[in-house]
C-alpha cells in the first residue's frame, strides 16, 4: 500500500514513510539546531523535516520556495555519486538544493540561516 504525500502525484511506501519518521526522531545535533531556526514559519515559509520526495528522504523541504536543504555529515564524503544522483533527480522536479556541512551549521548558524533566507527570497 502506498501513501500520498505533500509532493503532488507522489506515492510513498510504508517503509520509506517509517524511515522518515525514524530520522525525525533521531536528528543529528546540527539538524536539531537548524530545525529550531527554521521551524514554525520563523523564516516566513513552512518547512518540513525528513520529507520523502521521489523516493529520497531530504533533510528539510519548503514546498512554497521549491527548496531542499541538506545537512551533510562525514558520510557524504563517501557517497558523492549518490548525492549527485539525488540532486539531479530533485533538480529535474524544479527543486533547488542547498547543502551545508554539519560543522558549518554548528559553528556558523547565523550565516547558514542567512543563506537560507536568501534562497527563500529568490522565489
Q: Domain residues of the chain, as ranges?
A: 30-121
pLDDT per residue as tens digits for the range 72-105? 987 655 677 888 899 999 999 999 999 999 999 9
* The three three-digit cell numbers of residue 110, written as one number: 547565523
**In whole numbers, what is the pLDDT of the chain averaged over residues?**
89
pLDDT per residue as tens digits for the range 42-71? 999 999 999 999 899 999 999 999 999 999
Please tell me the pTM assigned to this model.
Answer: 0.88
CA 54 to chain centre: 13
Give the CATH number of domain 30-121; options: 3.40.960.10, 1.10.260.40, 1.10.10.10, 3.90.226.10.
3.40.960.10
Q: In terms of DSSP bridges, do strands 56-62 and 48-53 run parallel, antiparallel, or are they unpaired?
A: antiparallel
Selected residue with higher pLDDT from 2 and 12 = 12
Task: Express as a percent the part of the chain with pLDDT over 70.
Answer: 88
Which residues, in sequence order, are CB contacts of 51 under 8 Å at separation 6+?
5, 6, 7, 20, 57, 58, 60, 61
Q: In terms of DSSP bridges, do strands 96-101 and 67-72 run parallel, antiparallel, or are they unpaired?
A: parallel
Amino acid at each position: 500500500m502506498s501513501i500520498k504525500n505533500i509532493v503532488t502525484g507522489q506515492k510513498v511506501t510504508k517503509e520509506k514513510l517509517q524511515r522518515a519518521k525514524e530520522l525525525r526522531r533521531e536528528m543529528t545535533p546540527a539538524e536539531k539546531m537548524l530545525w529550531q531556526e527554521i521551524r514554525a514559519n520563523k523564516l516566513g515559509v513552512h518547512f518540513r523535516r525528513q520529507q520523502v520526495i521521489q523516493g529520497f528522504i531530504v533533510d528539510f523541504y519548503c514546498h512554497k520556495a521549491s527548496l531542499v536543504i541538506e545537512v551533510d555529515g562525514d558520510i557524504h564524503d563517501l557517497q558523492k555519486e549518490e548525492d549527485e544522483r539525488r540532486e539531479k533527480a530533485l533538480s529535474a522536479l524544479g527543486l533547488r538544493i542547498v547543502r551545508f556541512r554539519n560543522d558549518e551549521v554548528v559553528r556558523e548558524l547565523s550565516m547558514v540561516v542567512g543563506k537560507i533566507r536568501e534562497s527563500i527570497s529568490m522565489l
